[in-house]
Structure 1
Amino acid sequence: MNSTPFTAVEAPVTPASGTAPEETDVIVIGGGTGGYGTALRAAALGLRVVLAERDLVGGTCLHRGCVPSKAMLHAAELVDGIAEARERWGVKATVDAVDWPALVATRGDIVARNHKGVEGHLARAGVRVARGTARLTGTRTVVVEGEGGGAFTARRGIVLATGSRPRLLPGLVPDGRRVVTSDDALFAPGLPESVLVLGGGAIGVEYASFHRSMGAEVTIVEAADRLLPLEDEDVSRHLTRGLKKRGIQVRTGSLLTDTKLPTNGVRATVRTPKGDEVVLTAERLLVAVGRTPVTDGLGLEAAGLSTDERGFVPPADWSRLETAVPGIHVVGDLLPPPSLGLAHASFAEGLLVAETLAGIPSRPVDYAAVPRVTYSSPQTASVGLTEAEARARGIEVKVNSMPLTAVAKGMVHGQGGIVKVVAAADGAGGEATGAVLGVHLVGPHVSEMIAESQLIVAWDAEPSDVAQHVHAHPTLSEAVGETFLTLAGRGLHQH
Structure 2
Amino acid sequence: MRHRRLLLVLVLVAIVAAYFLSGANEALTLANLQAEQVRFQAWLADDPLTVVGGFFLFYVIMAALSLPGATLLTLLGGALFGLGWGLLIISFASTLGATLAALIARTLARGPLERRFAVQLERINAGIRREGAFYLFTLRLIPLFPFFVINLVVGLTRMRLWTFYWVSQLGMLPGTAVYVNAGRELGNLQSLSGVLSPGLIGSFVLIGLFPWLARGLVAIAKRRRLARRYRRPARFDYDIVVIGGGSAGLVASYIAAAVKARVVLVERDRLGGDCLNTGCVPSKALIRASRVAEDIRGAGRYGIHAGEPQVDFGAVMAHVQRAIRQVEPHDSRERYEGLGVEVLAGEARLLDPWRVCVNGDTGERVLTTRHVIIASGARPKVPPLPGLEAIEILTSDNLWQLEALPERLVVLGGGPIGCELGQSFARLGSRVSLVEMGPQLLPREDHDAADTLRLRLEQDGLELWLDTRAVRVVPNADADGGHALEVERRLASGEAEVHRLPFDRLLVAVGRQANVAGMGLEALGVETRADGTLAVDESLQSVLPNVWACGDVAGPFQLTHASGHQAWHAAVNALFGELKRFRVSYRALPAVTYTEPEVARVGLSEGEARARGIDFEVTRYELAELDRAIAEGRAEGFVKVLTVPGKDRILGASVVGQGAGELLAEFTLAMTHGLGLNKLLGTVHPYPTWSEAAKATAGVWKNAHKPERLLGWLEKYFAWRRGAVAAGAETPRETKGETRRQDA
Same structural fold, with TM-score higher than 0.5 when normalized by the shorter chain: yes
| Aligned pairs (5 A) from 1:211-360 | 211-262=425-476, 264-274=481-491, 275-315=496-536, 317-318=537-538, 320-337=539-556, 340-359=557-576
User: How far apart, CA to CA, are the structure 1 residues paired with 2:548 and 2:598?
Assistant: 34
Question: Would the aligned equivalents of 1:194 and 1:283 in 2 still touch at CA under 8 Å?
Answer: yes
2:644 is aligned, of 391, 399, 424, to: 424
1:215-244 CA distances to partner (integer Å, 9 max, x unpaired)? 112121111110001112221111112211
User: How far apart, CA to CA, are the structure 2 residues paired with 1:92 and 1:37?
Assistant: 47
2:653 match: 439
Higher relative contact order (CA 8 A, sep 6+): 1
Question: Would the aligned equivalents of 2:386 and 2:472 in 1 still touch at CA under 8 Å?
Answer: no
- Further displaced range: 166-175 or 382-391: 166-175
User: How far apart, CA to CA, are the structure 1 residues paired with 2:391 and 2:430?
Assistant: 15
Aligned-residue offset at 1:411? 1.7
Aligned-residue offset at 1:145? 0.9
- Further displaced range: 104-113 or 67-76: 104-113
User: How far apart, CA to CA, are the structure 2 residues paired with 1:190 and 1:173?
Assistant: 24
| Aligned pairs (5 A) from 1:47-86 | 47-85=261-299
SS at 1:207 equivalent = helix
Q: As a proportion of its length, which structure holds more strand?
A: 1
User: How far apart, CA to CA, are the structure 2 residues paired with 1:352 and 1:173?
Assistant: 43
Whether 1:374 aligns to 2:593 is yes
Amino acid at match of 1:468: G
SS at 1:189 equivalent = coil
SS at 1:341 equivalent = coil
1:93 is aligned, of 303, 306, 322, to: 306
Aligned-residue offset at 1:154? 4.1
1:186 match: 400
1:253-275 CA distances to partner (integer Å, 9 max, x unpaired)? 11001212458543111111221
Whether 1:143 aligns to 2:385 is no
User: How far apart, CA to CA, are the structure 1 residues paired with 2:601 and 2:309?
Assistant: 36
1:493 match: 735
Aligned-residue offset at 1:471? 2.4
Whether 1:455 aligns to 2:669 is yes
TM-score (norm 2): 0.60
SS at 2:643 equivalent = strand
Question: Would the aligned equivalents of 1:43 and 1:49 in 2 still touch at CA under 8 Å?
Answer: yes
**How many residue pairs are counted as aligned between the two chains?**
473
Aligned-residue offset at 1:21? 11
Amino acid at match of 1:355: V
Amino acid at match of 2:358: V
2:329 match: 116
**Structure 2: runs of 5+ lacking an equivalent:** 1-219, 707-732, 738-744
2:626 is aligned, of 407, 420, 423, to: 407
1:185-205 CA distances to partner (integer Å, 9 max, x unpaired)? 232231112211110000000
2:231 match: 11
Distance 1:175 1:444, change over 3 A: farther
Aligned-residue offset at 1:351? 1.2
User: How far apart, CA to CA, are the structure 1 residues paired with 2:249 and 2:409?
Assistant: 34
User: How far apart, CA to CA, are the structure 2 residues paired with 1:417 and 1:327?
Assistant: 47
User: How far apart, CA to CA, are the structure 1 residues paired with 2:387 and 2:370?
Assistant: 42
Amino acid at match of 1:310: D
Distance 1:372 1:50, change over 3 A: same
Aligned-residue offset at 1:331? 0.4
Amino acid at match of 1:51: L
Aligned-residue offset at 1:455? 1.1
User: How far apart, CA to CA, are the structure 2 residues paired with 1:259 and 1:176?
Assistant: 8
1:105 match: 318
Question: Would the aligned equivalents of 1:265 and 1:284 in 2 still touch at CA under 8 Å?
Answer: no
Question: Would the aligned equivalents of 1:420 and 1:439 in 2 still touch at CA under 8 Å?
Answer: yes
User: How far apart, CA to CA, are the structure 1 residues paired with 2:674 and 2:281?
Assistant: 32
Aligned-residue offset at 1:97? 2.3
Distance 1:159 1:189, change over 3 A: same
**Structure 1: runs of 5+ lacking an equivalent:** 14-19, 428-432
SS at 2:352 equivalent = coil
1:17 match: none
Aligned-residue offset at 1:276? 0.9
Amino acid at match of 2:552: D
Distance 1:298 1:178, change over 3 A: closer
Distance 1:98 1:380, change over 3 A: same
Distance 1:203 1:116, change over 3 A: same
1:384-415 CA distances to partner (integer Å, 9 max, x unpaired)? 00012112222221112122111121123334
| Aligned pairs (5 A) from 1:204-215 | 204-215=418-429
Aligned-residue offset at 1:58? 0.6
SS at 1:302 equivalent = helix
Question: Would the aligned equivalents of 2:548 and 2:574 in 1 still touch at CA under 8 Å?
Answer: no
SS at 2:530 equivalent = coil
Distance 1:301 1:178, change over 3 A: closer
Amino acid at match of 1:393: R
Whether 1:479 aligns to 2:693 is yes
Amino acid at match of 2:510: V
Question: Would the aligned equivalents of 1:130 and 1:148 in 2 still touch at CA under 8 Å?
Answer: no
Question: Would the aligned equivalents of 1:413 and 1:444 in 2 still touch at CA under 8 Å?
Answer: no
User: How far apart, CA to CA, are the structure 1 residues paired with 2:677 and 2:585?
Assistant: 21
Aligned-residue offset at 1:175? 8.1
1:15-49 CA distances to partner (integer Å, 9 max, x unpaired)? xxxxx998211101111100111011111110111
User: How far apart, CA to CA, are the structure 1 residues paired with 2:525 and 2:277?
Assistant: 32
Distance 1:264 1:127, change over 3 A: farther
Question: Would the aligned equivalents of 1:30 and 1:163 in 2 still touch at CA under 8 Å?
Answer: yes
User: How far apart, CA to CA, are the structure 1 residues paired with 2:575 and 2:238?
Assistant: 13
Question: Would the aligned equivalents of 1:383 and 1:454 in 2 still touch at CA under 8 Å?
Answer: yes
User: How far apart, CA to CA, are the structure 2 residues paired with 1:249 and 1:471?
Assistant: 40
Amino acid at match of 1:168: V
User: How far apart, CA to CA, are the structure 1 residues paired with 2:736 and 2:499?
Assistant: 45
Distance 1:351 1:148, change over 3 A: farther
Distance 1:177 1:473, change over 3 A: farther
Question: Would the aligned equivalents of 2:387 and 2:472 in 1 still touch at CA under 8 Å?
Answer: no
User: How far apart, CA to CA, are the structure 2 residues paired with 1:38 and 1:264?
Assistant: 50
Question: Would the aligned equivalents of 2:407 and 2:429 in 1 still touch at CA under 8 Å?
Answer: yes
Aligned-residue offset at 1:174? 6.8
Superposition CA RMSD, Å = 2.5
Question: Would the aligned equivalents of 2:388 and 2:473 in 1 still touch at CA under 8 Å?
Answer: no
Distance 1:58 1:293, change over 3 A: same
1:319-376 CA distances to partner (integer Å, 9 max, x unpaired)? x211111011000111143xx1101110111111122223175743321211110111
1:16 match: none
Q: Percent identity?
A: 33
Question: Would the aligned equivalents of 2:388 and 2:472 in 1 still touch at CA under 8 Å?
Answer: no
SS at 1:212 equivalent = helix
